[in-house]
Each structure stands twice: as structure tokens, then as C-alpha cells.
Structure 1
Amino acid sequence: MGLWGPIPTKQELSEIRQSEATEVISADGELLGKYYRFDRQSVAYEDFPDHLIHALIATEDSRFYDHNGIDGQSLMRVFFKTILLQDAASGGGSTISQQLAKNLYGRRDLGKTGMVVTKFREAIIARRIEKIYSKEDILTLYLNTVPFSDNTYGIESASHKFFNSSTSNLSIEQAATLVGTLKASNYFNPRLHPERSLGRRNVVINQMMRYKYLDPDIAEDANQTPLQLNLQYYDHDRGLATHFREELRRELTKILDTLKNEKGKPYNLYNDGLKIYTTIDYQMQSYAETAMKAHISKLQQAFEDSWGNQAPWLVNTTLVKNEIKKLPIYIQMLDKGFKEEAIYDSLRFKRDMKLFDWDSIQTVKASSIDSLVHYMKLLNTGMLSLDPQTGAIKTWIGGIDYGANQFDHVSQSRRQVGSTFKPIVYTAALENGFDACSHFSMEAVTYPGDYTPENASKPENDDPYLNYSMKYALSNSVNTIAVKVLMETGIEKVIEQAEKMGISATLPEVSSLALGTAELSVIELAKAFTPYTNNGYVSAPFFITRIETKDGKVIAKFSPDITKELSFSNDTRHLMIDMMQATVNKGTASRIRSTYKLNNDIAGKTGTTQDNRDAWFVAVTPKLTTVVWVGNDLNIPFRNTGLGQGANAALPMFATFYSSLNSDSKYNKITRAKFETVPSHLIAQTQCEETVRDNFLKRLFTNPNKPNNYKDKKKRKGFFSIFKSKDKD
């Protein structure tokens, strides 16, 4: 009569629809992650192995095939032992059908009469379920809705989480382990309580033997098998590509708002069981994250050791106080009228706290200020790899750990790019009439605003009358020449070239632009380098290929977005690849060859910003473009260039990652790809002399010790050009 709440009708029961998690699928078909309110995926009855069904029935409802939803014998046991004798160990007496009713419709707190009323209510629902559904349908509904450990709903989700396996591939031991948790999902959680879980698993195996589902010999072998978990995490803080999955979630929220289901309503990311197919390569992502962890963990230690007791997070009280004042708890207490000293006293209180550490998540006694200082010193990173021909993103590392820092250093962070901007400058120069064999002096020049760029290091043969080729200047990252190339090409033309290569950020119209004072994101910089290996066309980065409903209906498809306008000529493309190959072969990125022994076709550019605050490396290969950034979010610099330069702080991440690809034959098409042969009419420009020396007359009229002013230099340029010799002497 509804005195204790409504009971679902047969019509409602026949339309059961449970919320299902949306799955994120990698390009190579692996489950990358999920979005859910309840972690649940549906699986068909045909995919249940027999031993899973046998384990469930033997343990939870041995007379399942004989009753109509209510087991009279079990109910009598419950009535006499559980209710009258208060024997909590006598069991619940619910059939699988009654448990399904509980899973679907939950239980309400009804006071002292609650258990009796609840059992009657579930019995009625169970009877109705049995009249509507077959036994196979009931088992399917049950296994797809029952809660397992760790807030995991449904057998498929539990199989993936605890054993990295689909339901159909569960072994006897694995199936018994999961069924065993149903008695008390937290108490028998195999992750938290492996010994309890093992004991309970063996109880399930013995029940299977008791009811003739297992031969004694097989049961004995199964009982002797150790509990072996293969834990997979699909929550936002853990697992593979965590920052990417959050970026994907933000993008999907916008996309799904534009798509309507059969009822005319937007699809729900958390309830509708969608399948999101992405461009991310699961194995490549795994290699990239392994390389990142190996490199940054060592670099972090070197970073801290280099500062020692003089570390800014230890001695710069102004820096620390400014960060304290940004803490939400500080702002809240200040708004409530607490005085600053009282707030500081509160923030100094030590308690058990989890802190990210490269070895593990450490639980330590620490205060809020201790925690702040700990995270202030951490280096962070952004790394992206994409297919330059399509723009399909293959790997995405947005930071060192999502739980420690949710800020995405691929898409959200904008940092000065340093010398990685120089290839754009040189590209603009070639496009505007410069010959690749053009030579420039390393002499310092003062530009408007009293800006005088300097080189990080001087060549061994420090001759003020030597002029260096563009190829040498780029491969060795000579600052003074880069600025000269920019100024002689024209700042406006360089900015125009950058825009043609896909850069949409506002660029500063200053001479220091040549040295990378522009602030760009990792993803925008990666986009700008795609034309070099895509016949001069820009490929827009993308990471979703299609979206399907749980029934396999495609509701959205995405394809490469490639510009129709050439960024630069084919000749320029060949010459720039040759120059950037020189960077790797014998320039600032040569440790790719000497230290990491990579013999692949690789072009690239290192980058280090002022005061060693940002380290960059861009790797260009025929089939993969990779950008790496490393730095500190508070702009705490590396203490010296040897440690903080792009070749040391960023390049090793790519080199280690690419070494893993080399070792995996699956990626031969990428790693064994070759750059195109330079056309014959350009060979001379790839083989020009690295240096040419000013002839006698120019040396006679030039004082190398006198600083040059850019305006004066422009006036003298025409006159001295007649004195330039291409002979070494």
C-alpha cells in the first residue's frame, strides 16, 4: 500500500536503466580511464566465464535455479537465528534476486521495524523481477550493478581495477576473489586487506567444490595460488595520462552540450556509458611517463643539492610569505577577522599529512607551511608528442603528478620559450631572401632600448673578425647572430611567419623576440613545428577521434584539421630540417648522439630562458614531433646553466622516451623513418663554410673593442659589404 515507500511496478522494472561510466579508449584499444558517478560498465551474459557464475551461486544463493526469487529455507533461518536469537553470524538469507532489488533501489532507514519491512519489500520486488526476467538476465543485471571494493560497481569495472582484465578472461582464483568481496566489500578489500581477501577467496573456492562446480584437485591448486593483483586506477588523481584525462573532460563537457540523445536531451558524461576514442597511444604514453619520472626525480635532487642551504624556499621569507597569503585557509581566516599572527600559529600546527614524493606518497607530521614549502621547491614539466602529418596527439604529460598539482603544463601554462623560437626566426629569414650560406659576425650590438644580447658561451676560436654561417649559429644557439637575423629580416616579418606556422599568441615586437621572450604553451609550440615534417602545412593538435553511445552508435567524429595555406616553401623546409639536424649532430643537442646513442633521423632545438628559469627541447622526427618543458612554477631558477640548460634539464626526457620506442618493434614506422633527401639544387646551401673571415680592409677599418650601435651598424653595412670575403683567410 506504500506505507513504507513506493515499490517499483512491473513496467518500471522492465525499463531498468542504471547509470554507466563513460570509458576513455586509447588509439591502441586500451582502457585509458573513466568518468563516473559510480564506476560501472555493463557486460553481456555470454561474456561471463562459467566459473564466475558458479562461484557466485555457490557462495551467495545455492538454490538460485530452484526458487522464484524468495528462498523459504533461508528466510526461516533469518527469522529464527538473526531476528529472534540475534545471531549476526547466521547470514542474511537474501537471494541473488533480492540482492539485485537492494542494488537497484537501495534501503531506507525505517527504525526498529526496518529489517523486517526491508526484507518484505525486497521479496516483493524480487518476485516481480523473476516474473519479468530470465535467470540469465537476473545474473547479468546483478553482476553489472553489484558494488565491489573501492567504490567499484559491476564485475567488468572490478575486473579491470583489481586484475587489469576483462570479465571474460578472469581466472578461477580471480573470479573467486571478487565474489568473495561481496560479503563485505571493505573488510575483504584485496587491496587493503590481502590476507583476509585470500582467506575469503579460498572459502569461495571450497564452496564451489562443495556444490560440485570444481574438482577437488583443481580446487586444491586454486587454494594454493597466491593472491596476485594488477591494480589499475581510473580516478582523476591516479593512473595513466591523468592531466590529459582532465583536459579531455573539459573538452567533452563542451562537446556533449551540443549533442542530443533520443529524448532530445544532452548526453551525460557520467551516466550514459559513452565510449570516447582518443588519439593517445597507451604504450607510448606509458614510455613517456616512465621517462619523465626517471629524469625529473634525479633532476629534482640535483636541483635541491645545487641550492643547498641557500635555497629560495628556505631563505627567501618574502617569497614564502607571498605564497602563504595565497592559501585558501589563510584567505578564509583573514576574512573571518583573525589577526595575521594567529593565522600563522594555526598554519604552523603539525598533523598527519600526505605529501608527494618521488619514491611514494609519504604520510608525515607536517604543518600547512611545511607542505607549502615542500611543493614550492618541486620542478614540474610538460611534454607532448604528436603526429605532425595529422596533428593526432600521441602522448600528453601535463605535470609530475596530478594529485600534487592539477595545473596542466601542456595546455594551461605559458612560459618564455627561449631559443626554441630561433628556428622560426631563421625560417622567416630564408623566406625573405636570405641564403642559408649567409654569414654573420658574433660581435655584440646594442639595439633600441639599450638592449645588448650576449652569448651563453664564446667559441674556442674567439676571433672578432670571423663570421659564422646561419647553420652554425642556429645549431650552436648563438644569441647575437639570432638577433641580427631577426632585425635584418624585420620583426614584423618574423611575427607574420610565426602566425603562418600556427602561433596565435600575441608576440612582443622587440629585438629580444629572437631569443624567445614570447610566452607560449607546449601545445602551441608543438603545433608551430608541424609544418617542417608536413610539407609546409600546419596540423592542428587534436585528441578525440569519435564518440559512441554504449550501444555502439557514433554520435560524433573528428578528423585532422590541416591548414590549406603553406607556411613556407619546400626549399625552406629542407634547409631548416638540415640546420636543426646539425643541432643534434654536433650542436647544443649533440648529447642525443654522444650520451644516448640515438642514431635515428632527428632534428631539434634546445632552449634555455634568462636566469635558467625554463628548459626546453623540441624534437622533430619524420613521424613524430615532441616538445618538452621543465621548470619551477614559482620561477625559482636553476642555480647554474650546466644544470638548467635545455640540453640537460629537458632533452633527456625525450631521449629516454625515444630509446624506449627504439626498443619496441611496434614503433618501427616511427623510429626508422627517414627525412627526405635534400634536393640537388639546395645541397650547396647545406655544405657552406661554417666560418668566413673579414678581409684586410674591413679588419683595418673595424675596431673590435668598440661596442656597436645598431643604427650606426646599419649605416656602415653597405660600405663594408664590399670587403667581405668568403675565403677562410
Structure 2
Amino acid sequence: MSSTQNKKEKNKQKAQGGFKKYIVGFWVLFLGGCAAVIFFFLCASWGVFGPMPTFDELENPASNVATEVISSDGKTIGKFYLENRVPVSYEDLPDYLVKALIATEDERFLTHSGIDARGTLRAVTAVGSKGGASTITQQLAKLLFHGEGARNLPKRIAQKAKEWVIAVKLERQYTKEEILTMYLNKADFVNNAVGIRSATRVYLGKEPKDLTIDEAAMFVGMLQNPAYFNPVRRPELVLKRRNVVLHQMARNEFITQEQSEEMQKLPLSLNFTPESHREGIATYFREYLREYMRRWVKENPKKDGTTYDIYRDGLKIYVTLDSRLQEYAEEAVTEHISNLQEEFFIDQKNNKMAPFYKINNETRESIITRAMKSSERWKQMKEAGKSEKDILASFKVKTKMKVFTWKGDVDTVMTPRDSIIYYKHFLQAGMMSMEPQTGHIKAWVGGINYKHFQYDHVGQGARQVGSTFKPFVYATAIERLHYSPCDSIIDSQFTMPKGRHGISKDWTPQNASRNYKGIMTLKQALAGSVNTVTAKLMDRVGPAAVIDLMRDLGVTSEIPESPAIALGAVDITVSDMVAAFSTFANKGIYVKPVFITKIQDRNGVLLYNAIPETKDVMSKDVAYAIVKLLEGVTESGSGVRLRTTWSGNGYKRVTGHPYKFTNPIAGKTGTTQNQSDGWFIGMVPNLATGVWVGNDDRAAHFRTMLYGQGATLALPIWGLYMNKAYADKTLDISKGKFEVPDNLSIRVDCSKIIEEGQADEESDLTTEEFDF
């Protein structure tokens, strides 16, 4: 072989050897890269880049589930939560919501195993310009186990690897339907709406199953960036994003192109109803319930000894409230008190001590100072080490603030001290409805606005009850002395001598009218709220007997053993008064008020079932006799306004319209000294409702009886409420008669007795009592 050929052969062999090196190098790099990738993912699965979920955590992903408060008519009226989230099942998700989600977020969701290879390759080659590659399963992994993405690149890559590993594990552990359901239940739609069920309730006021296609598309559109695509703040952007989702649904043939184009023309159908602890219906009741549940979970631990968490454990609390009656009660309070408040401001215009009457400047300053020391501002400054002098000075510095008005919150500038005086002007109300036969509380309004006034005038606030106490004196007399509503008694001046029933000086109660009408029946006396007659009955039975009856009726307030309690000189809560009155409508059987029927855990396991507490307090005959006496109040006494078209003395200006009830109503008004408290408790056979109206401070009140009596302060709320309840045909509120006991032994038909001294419409304004 020539040297030239030899050289060529050597060069060929050298070239082949070099090429072989490239081949080997390629495979080394390729296999090494694959090994590195595999090792990288193994490291992720081993927890090198951070802890990974265990099998148990994958089986039961940790999540905060809101406790639901469910009304007797099946409505969720509130929640206790850290995350406002109540899970739904796959069956509760409309088909087009699922299809919209797949079409927009993960078109190959049904075919991949957690990682979309095509999507990942597209994202890598386009450097993310054509969208990300996260599958729905990866997004769920992120939501469940590590939340927001890291900002620096190395950590983000490690986090992505964890997502892929978790996504694959989730796909092995759960079905596609379960993954979709978990994702929609976990997604945060902002505005305190975590999960699709909360989102549909907050933004549309409906359940997921009731969504239309365009509404479903809106929620799927929000998922890209809920804070940015917020329909409350950026509706125009959400509309455009919704239309992108509708386009994707048509592209994937889930809807037709024509449907997509037609629905893209629709506006957003928002019905924004925030769900927070201070908004929605029954806010005062829900706060009362929350405090009760805090005690209940301590007394009723789980089987393992741990305590239920009302904010995380997804309990279901079934309450007795009816959402319809609750709304009507709140509407009635708002409608009446907002009108009455205008009259109160007018009443105070020339009052130098506004909103207080019959006090001196020293007492007024004492009230204001007490309010300042109870304020959050005072507490915070005290904790910060400020002196009392500095704190007091701060209350005189003008500050920007938002204050309550009946026309909505208003931004203003005033001193904190002036804001206290401003808020002292506002009339408050407490109202409760219950079924006498079951004790089920159907409506609870603790005040006029929970955001600004947290004190609950149903469960917390005991107030002087005025003449609403008189029926209990009559009940004691009828039971112990065997009187009847038709028995006669003389309305005349009466003095109880010193020493009688332990009194320290002579007591001569006066009728408000300062007049005496002579012989009258007990029915007429209660209808006219005659003080002297009630005092005579108290003298005959004694305070101790009346107090014993009140204890049997569930009243726990301190009641002084004094004859003056006959005229209502005792503080009792609205809830206790309604329960006590309900005993008359329930044939003498007291039923303790019930507000929870049952409690279940998140899996539907029963944890608590209410058992009614009852007590036989009086005979059916006595109870019915009192009902007939109370019917007299609405037939001819201070409650007659419920039956007439009368609207004199400014009554129509305050209430808006008269009432024309024709059905039997048993009721009683009450007014306390200086018009500080106005009451009306009214009953029909299957519903008893009590209303109190007044100011938080008893020194703040109307100047005269024109607006300051119970018949004007409280009775109109009852009338408005019952009108609304009767107008709702889905409710079954009785218009019938109270049931007459068999073999009634007490005479209740007084029609043959000459009705002398009967209260008429005009004297009704002057026979309301001033209690002592």
C-alpha cells in the first residue's frame, strides 16, 4: 500500500473515531440528562426541595371548611370561617361549568395523567409566551400543598417539580371527577368567597347547580387571576375574560358558535351579596350563636378528646330561624325606626342636653365620659401608655370618620366626643318571634345595625318592661283567687299603707290620666292599662306569688319583692318576655326557647339533637282567660290601632300606613317612666312576637307621650312584620282563633256586661302608664 493510501486510511479511521466519540458523547449527555431529570424528580419526591405530602395527607387534604348556619326553611343564613368555603359534590356542579373549566384551563385534562407533555413542550419552546403548562391537577397540587409560587427562578423550578410529582400522585389517588371537584372547592374567588359554592352565593346569590352557561363562564374566567378579574372592581375586564371562556367552549364544541356569540352579548348578571360576620341577615343572632357554640364545643369534645373548631371543621348547625320571617322582621324594624328616628331628631332640636332629658350637665358629662372609657380608642391609647389627660384631649380633636345614617354610611369630620353624642341619639330595637308550641325562635333582631351597634337587645339587654308585666299579675289573681276576666273591680284611688308587703312608706299609684272610672271588668282594666286596678290585684296576691309565677315562666332577671313590680318596675330581656307570654298561647305550658334543632359534623354525623324543655305552669283555663284579656287590649285598648284606619297625632307620619287586622290578636303595650322604653308583645295562635324600642341610655328619650309610648314606639313594628308574614303565602301564620279548652270553667265572654269605662281611641293615648 502506498504512503498516500496509508495516510488516507489513517485519516478515515481518525474521522470515524472522532464521530464515534460524538455519538458516545451524545448518548452520555442524553442518558446523563435523563438520569439527572429522573434524579431531580426523585429528589423532589424525597422531599429534598421541601416537605412533600404524606399518603394520609393525599388521602385527606388539609382544608378549612366553614361551619354553616342553616335555617328551618333550608337556607344558609350565615357561616363561621377562616376561609369562607363550603364544599359541594361533583353531582352539584352543572355540566357546563365543568366543560368551561376543561376548555379554558386544561383541554387534555381527561387524557393526561397529571402532566400535559404537549402543553409543557409548547410552554418551553415558546418561553411561556403562548401560556403556561399547568394542568388542573397541578393547579390543585399548588392550592393544596404549597400555595403561591416562589419568585426566584431556582426555587420556582424546584416548586414546579414538586407540583408535577404531587399531580401524578393525585391522579393515582383520585378520579378525574374528584380532582375537578376538589379544585373548584378550593379555588379562592376573593371577596371572602373560597370555593365555587361560596362564590356563587356571594356574587350571584344562588347555588352552583342553578348557574347559567354565561355565569359559569364568568367564574372559570376569574380563575386565571381572581384578584385581577374581580367582577366587583373590574366588571369590564371580567366580561372580556368571560367571553374568552365562551369562545373556548365553542372551540372545543361544548357549545355551538351561535350560542357563544349570543351569550357574549349578555351583560354580567351580578347580585353581590358579601358574606361576612357583620353582613347578611340575622347578624345579632349569629353572634349569639357563635358565643353559644364556643361554649358547646368545649363541653362536647370529639371522641379523641380534641375540640371541634367552628371555623375549620365544617359543622352544620340547623337553627330554628325562618329566613323569610327573619327578613320581614329586619325590614319592619328598619322601616319603622328609620322614620321614627327623623321625629326623634326633630324632638331634640331645642334640647340643650340633647339627646337627654331631665338631667343636669354633670350627669350628661358623666354619661359621655363613661362612653369614652368604653370605646376602642380609649382602650388602645391606654394600652399604649397614654395618660388619661392625653386620651381625653384626643377625643376633642377633629378626625375623619365614617358614621352611620339611615341613608347609608357617610364620610365626615368630627371629634370622637361629638361622634359619641351623635350615636347616643339613635333609637334601638329588640325583636323576637317564636312558636309557642315548640319554643322554636323564628326571628331575632337584636338592634338596628350590627356593624355600628353590637349590643344585642334580645339576648343581652334587659330593660324595664312597663305594662307588659301586668298580665302576669292578672294571671296570678285569676289562678289563686279564682277571678275571671268578667269580674268587676272598682277603679278608684288606692293607697297601700306603709308596712304592707314590706314597703317603707305609703304607696298611692296613679293612672296616667289621673282619672278614675269606677266599676269595670278586669278585661276593661287590662285593656285600658289601669294602674290602680293592677295595684289592687297585686295587693291581694302579694309580690312573692307573682315572682314565683315569673320563675316558673323562665324569667331569670332579678325581681325585687316589691308591689311596684305590678306596674313593670323590673328589667327583663325580650327573649324571656316572649317565652313567658307564649305560655298563655300554649295552654299554660312553658317551653324554653330553642334556637338550634341539631348539629352535624362535615360528614353528616349527628352530634346534637335538641330536646325541648317544658313545664306545666298554669291550667289551660287560666291561660285561655289571660289570652282573652289580652285580646281585649287589641279590641278596645292601647292595641286597637292594629284594627283601625286611625292615623292621628302623627301616627301615620311615623308608621307609613295604618293596619286593618281582623283576626284574633292577643297583645299588650308597655311604656316606662319618661318614655324610656316602649314595648309591644303580640300573639296569634302559632306565633308570639315581642318588640322593644328605646335608646341605649335611658336618659335619652322622646319628650312627650306622643311618640314615646309603646303603642307608637314598638307596636308599628309588630304590625309591619305581621303584614309581611301574612302576605307570604309560603308561610302558615295563623289567622284563626285561639283554641278554647274543653269544659272551660272560667267565664271569658263579657259581652253581656255593660262596657263602662272602656278605653276609646283618643283616651288610648292618655291611659298608658307611668311606671315607678
TM-score w.r.t. structure 1 length?
Answer: 0.88
Identity %: 38
Q: Does 1:609 align with 2:672?
A: yes
> Please, which of 512, 530, 545 is the counterpart of residue 456 of structure 1?
512
Report if aligned partners of 2:221, 2:241 keep a CA contact under 8 Å in 1.
yes
Q: Distance in 2 between matches of 1:21 and 1:337?
A: 38
Q: Distance in 2 between matches of 1:590 and 1:161?
A: 43
Superimposed CA distance per residue, residues 425-468 of structure 1 (whole angstroms, 9 cap, x where no aligned partner): 11111112153313122325365435432222255xx66xx233
Superimposed CA distance per residue, residues 206-240 of structure 1 (whole angstroms, 9 cap, x where no aligned partner): 22122222212211221122212233343210111
Q: Distance in 2 between matches of 1:521 and 1:425?
A: 18
- State the 1:517 CA deviation: 0.9
Superimposed CA distance per residue, residues 6-57 of structure 1 (whole angstroms, 9 cap, x where no aligned partner): 1224453133242211111111111111111111122222222121012112
Residue type of the partner of 2:412? V
Structure 2 counterpart of 1:23: 68
- State the 1:161 CA deviation: 1.8
Report if aligned partners of 1:661, 1:671 keep a CA contact under 8 Å in 2.
no
Range that drifts further, 523-532 or 679-688: 679-688
Superimposed CA distance per residue, residues 652-679 of structure 1 (whole angstroms, 9 cap, x where no aligned partner): 11111111121122234x2223113476
Q: Secondary structure at the match of 1:665?
A: coil
Report if aligned partners of 1:285, 1:395 keep a CA contact under 8 Å in 2.
yes
Structure 2 counterpart of 1:642: 706
Q: Distance in 2 between matches of 1:417 and 1:278?
A: 28
Structure 2 CA distance for partners of 1:692 and 1:330, relative to 1, 3 Å: closer
Structure 1 counterpart of 2:136: 96
Report if aligned partners of 1:501, 1:538 keep a CA contact under 8 Å in 2.
yes
Report if aligned partners of 1:20, 1:270 keep a CA contact under 8 Å in 2.
yes
Q: Does 1:590 align with 2:640?
A: yes
Q: Distance in 2 between matches of 1:229 and 1:686?
A: 59
Q: Distance in 2 between matches of 1:149 and 1:36?
A: 14
Residue type of the partner of 1:312? A
Q: Secondary structure at the match of 2:678?
A: strand
Superimposed CA distance per residue, residues 676-702 of structure 1 (whole angstroms, 9 cap, x where no aligned partner): 347675447634344499xxxxxxxxx
Report if aligned partners of 1:486, 1:511 keep a CA contact under 8 Å in 2.
yes
> Please, which of 335, 341, 356 is the counterpart of residue 294 of structure 1?
335
Q: Distance in 2 between matches of 1:47 and 1:262?
A: 31
> Please, which of 672, 680, 686 is the counterpart of residue 623 of structure 1?
686
Report if aligned partners of 1:469, 1:689 keep a CA contact under 8 Å in 2.
no
> Please, which of 420, 424, 431 is the counterpart of residue 468 of structure 2?
420
Superimposed CA distance per residue, residues 242-278 of structure 1 (whole angstroms, 9 cap, x where no aligned partner): 1111111222222233334454433322222221111
Structure 1 counterpart of 2:298: 257
- State the 1:651 CA deviation: 0.5
Q: Distance in 2 between matches of 1:195 and 1:348?
A: 45
Structure 2 CA distance for partners of 1:122 and 1:353, relative to 1, 3 Å: farther
Residue type of the partner of 1:559? I
Q: Distance in 2 between matches of 1:92 and 1:405?
A: 49
Q: Secondary structure at the match of 1:513?
A: helix
Q: Secondary structure at the match of 1:457?
A: coil
Q: Distance in 2 between matches of 1:4 and 1:419?
A: 74
Q: Distance in 1 between matches of 2:280 and 2:547?
A: 40
Q: Distance in 1 between matches of 2:251 and 2:400?
A: 48
Residue type of the partner of 2:477? A
Q: Secondary structure at the match of 1:147?
A: coil
Q: Distance in 1 between matches of 2:166 and 2:266?
A: 40
Residue type of the partner of 2:204? F
Report if aligned partners of 1:441, 1:481 keep a CA contact under 8 Å in 2.
yes
Structure 2 CA distance for partners of 1:214 and 1:532, relative to 1, 3 Å: same
Structure 2 counterpart of 1:713: none
- State the 1:99 CA deviation: 0.8
Q: Distance in 2 between matches of 1:262 and 1:280?
A: 30
Structure 2 counterpart of 1:561: 613
Q: Does 1:665 align with 2:717?
A: no
- State the 1:169 CA deviation: 1.6
- State the 1:507 CA deviation: 0.8
Range that drifts further, 602-611 or 477-486: 477-486
Q: Secondary structure at the match of 2:692?
A: strand
- State the 1:79 CA deviation: 4.7
Q: Distance in 1 between matches of 2:103 and 2:441?
A: 48
Counting only pairs closer than 5 Å after superposition, residues 107-126 of structure 1 correspond to structure 2 as: 107=148, 109=150, 111=152, 113-126=154-167
* Number of corresponding residues: 681
Range that drifts further, 215-224 or 343-352: 343-352
Report if aligned partners of 2:493, 2:508 keep a CA contact under 8 Å in 1.
no
Report if aligned partners of 1:313, 1:319 keep a CA contact under 8 Å in 2.
no
Q: Secondary structure at the match of 1:23?
A: strand
Range that drifts further, 529-538 or 74-83: 74-83
Structure 1 counterpart of 2:217: 176
Report if aligned partners of 1:392, 1:560 keep a CA contact under 8 Å in 2.
no
Structure 1: runs of 5 or more not aligned: 694-729
Structure 2 counterpart of 1:727: none
Range that drifts further, 295-304 or 217-226: 217-226
Q: Does 1:531 align with 2:583?
A: yes
Report if aligned partners of 1:526, 1:627 keep a CA contact under 8 Å in 2.
yes
- State the 1:112 CA deviation: 5.1
Report if aligned partners of 1:435, 1:685 keep a CA contact under 8 Å in 2.
no
Q: Distance in 1 between matches of 2:340 and 2:291?
A: 32
Residue type of the partner of 1:303? F
Residue type of the partner of 2:161? F
> Please, which of 391, 394, 397 is the counterpart of residue 343 of structure 1?
391
Structure 2 CA distance for partners of 1:665 and 1:639, relative to 1, 3 Å: same
Structure 2 CA distance for partners of 1:103 and 1:692, relative to 1, 3 Å: closer
Report if aligned partners of 2:355, 2:701 keep a CA contact under 8 Å in 1.
no
> Please, which of 412, 428, 446 is the counterpart of residue 380 of structure 1?
428
- State the 1:72 CA deviation: 3.6
TM-score w.r.t. structure 2 length?
Answer: 0.83
Structure 2: runs of 5 or more not aligned: 1-42, 499-504, 645-657, 759-772
- State the 1:376 CA deviation: 1.7
Structure 1 counterpart of 2:84: 39
Superimposed CA distance per residue, residues 602-652 of structure 1 (whole angstroms, 9 cap, x where no aligned partner): 011000111110111111211111111111112212221110111001011
Report if aligned partners of 1:575, 1:686 keep a CA contact under 8 Å in 2.
no
Range that drifts further, 256-265 or 300-309: 256-265
Range that drifts further, 187-196 or 581-590: 187-196
Q: Distance in 1 between matches of 2:420 and 2:748?
A: 57
Q: Does 1:14 align with 2:56?
A: no
Structure 1 counterpart of 2:261: 220
Residue type of the partner of 1:500? D
Report if aligned partners of 1:536, 1:568 keep a CA contact under 8 Å in 2.
yes
Structure 1 counterpart of 2:279: 238
Q: Distance in 1 between matches of 2:442 and 2:474?
A: 28
Structure 2 counterpart of 1:522: 574
The structure having more radius of gyration, on CA atoms, is 2
Residue type of the partner of 2:282? A
Q: Distance in 1 between matches of 2:687 and 2:757?
A: 36
Counting only pairs closer than 5 Å after superposition, residues 366-515 of structure 1 correspond to structure 2 as: 366-433=414-481, 435-436=483-484, 437-445=487-495, 448=498, 449-458=505-514, 466-515=518-567
Structure 2 counterpart of 1:142: 183
Residue type of the partner of 2:557? A
Residue type of the partner of 1:453? P
Structure 2 CA distance for partners of 1:178 and 1:367, relative to 1, 3 Å: farther
- State the 1:301 CA deviation: 1.2
Q: Distance in 2 between matches of 1:349 and 1:92?
A: 55
Counting only pairs closer than 5 Å after superposition, residues 45-124 of structure 1 correspond to structure 2 as: 45-76=90-121, 78-79=123-124, 91-105=131-145, 106-107=147-148, 109=150, 111=152, 113-124=154-165
Residue type of the partner of 1:514? A
Structure 2 counterpart of 1:162: 203
Report if aligned partners of 1:445, 1:480 keep a CA contact under 8 Å in 2.
no
Structure 2 CA distance for partners of 1:172 and 1:518, relative to 1, 3 Å: same
